[in-house]
Structure 1
Amino acid sequence: MSVLLNTASLNELLSLLGDELRDIARLYVDQLDSELAELDAAWTAGDWPRLHRRAHALKGSSGNLGAVALAETASRLEKAAQAGDAALVQTELAALRQLAPATVQALRDGRYVR
């Protein structure tokens, strides 16, 4: 498993933004479950373009916040959705479901979430 968080980047952002970063992280944490539900709904509906878009959005938001493992997994999901690779989509969705709680806990443990 790759590193959950880029703490160097988060610490730099924290020194620049202070509580604003914590507010952004709170919003990310609050929306993560609904983002995963959107991905699951797109997968269940067989809506490949929507799955691709939602994976791309999660990749971006995770990357911007330094959630490295989630961003990398979302990137693989995005590529799998674009390629129509059902087996890889299922693998990456399962990985996201496992990484999400660990990522949220790491953000809390690092006091990046207000």
Structure 2
Amino acid sequence: MSALLDTTNLDELLAMLGDEFRDIVRQYVDQLEDEVAQLAALCAQRDWEALTRMAHSLKGSSGNMGAVMLAAAAARLEHAARAHDEAEIESALLELPDLARRTAAALRAGRYA
């Protein structure tokens, strides 16, 4: 397991599903930037309910893709949004763009996407 990815899980899924899994990972990677932007927009709108739901969704999809650090960051954002903790929300949102970029790069470098 790398700091960003659970490569053991990814390797198992790749062995089972092959190119179908790569297609799924590519779709996940391709939408990451937009999802992070949408999360920031929901914060700017102070729509805590929608922010909570979207952070929960990112947490789940990231967990499914073995993106453990991004899943943890999304969980942090989800909990902060649920609590309406604006300082923690902003702090969590600050780390997401770079973490999403590094996660996408790691998935590509590992030939999962």
> Does 76-85 or 2-11 show the bigger shift?
2-11
Q: Does 1:95 align with 2:95?
A: yes
TM-score by length of 1: 0.95
SS of structure 2 residue aligned to 1:4: coil
- Is the CA contact 2:33–2:97 (under 8 Å) kept in the aligned structure 1? no
1:8-45: CA deviation from partner (whole Å, max 9, x where unpaired): 00000000010111000100011111111110110000
Alignment match, 1:109:
109
Alignment match, 2:55:
55
CA–CA distance in 2 between the matches of 1:16 and 1:27?
A: 18
Q: How many residues align?
A: 112
Q: Does 1:66 align with 2:66?
A: yes
TM-score by length of 2: 0.96
Identity of aligned residues (%): 56
CA–CA distance in 1 between the matches of 2:97 and 2:32?
A: 10
CA–CA distance in 2 between the matches of 1:109 and 1:98?
A: 16
**Structure 1 residue identity aligned to 2:17:** L
CA–CA distance in 1 between the matches of 2:111 and 2:94?
A: 27
- CA shift at 1:95, angstroms? 1.1
CA–CA distance in 2 between the matches of 1:35 and 1:101?
A: 12
**Structure 2 residue identity aligned to 1:10:** L
**Structure 2 residue identity aligned to 1:21:** F
Q: Does 1:27 align with 2:27?
A: yes
**Structure 2 residue identity aligned to 1:38:** Q
SS of structure 1 residue aligned to 2:21: helix
CA–CA distance in 2 between the matches of 1:106 and 1:4?
A: 8
- Structure 1 runs (4+) deviating above 4 angstroms are none
- CA shift at 1:3, angstroms? 1.6
- Is the CA contact 2:51–2:78 (under 8 Å) kept in the aligned structure 1? yes
Gaps spanning 5+ residues in structure 2: where? none
CA–CA distance in 1 between the matches of 2:12 and 2:6?
A: 10
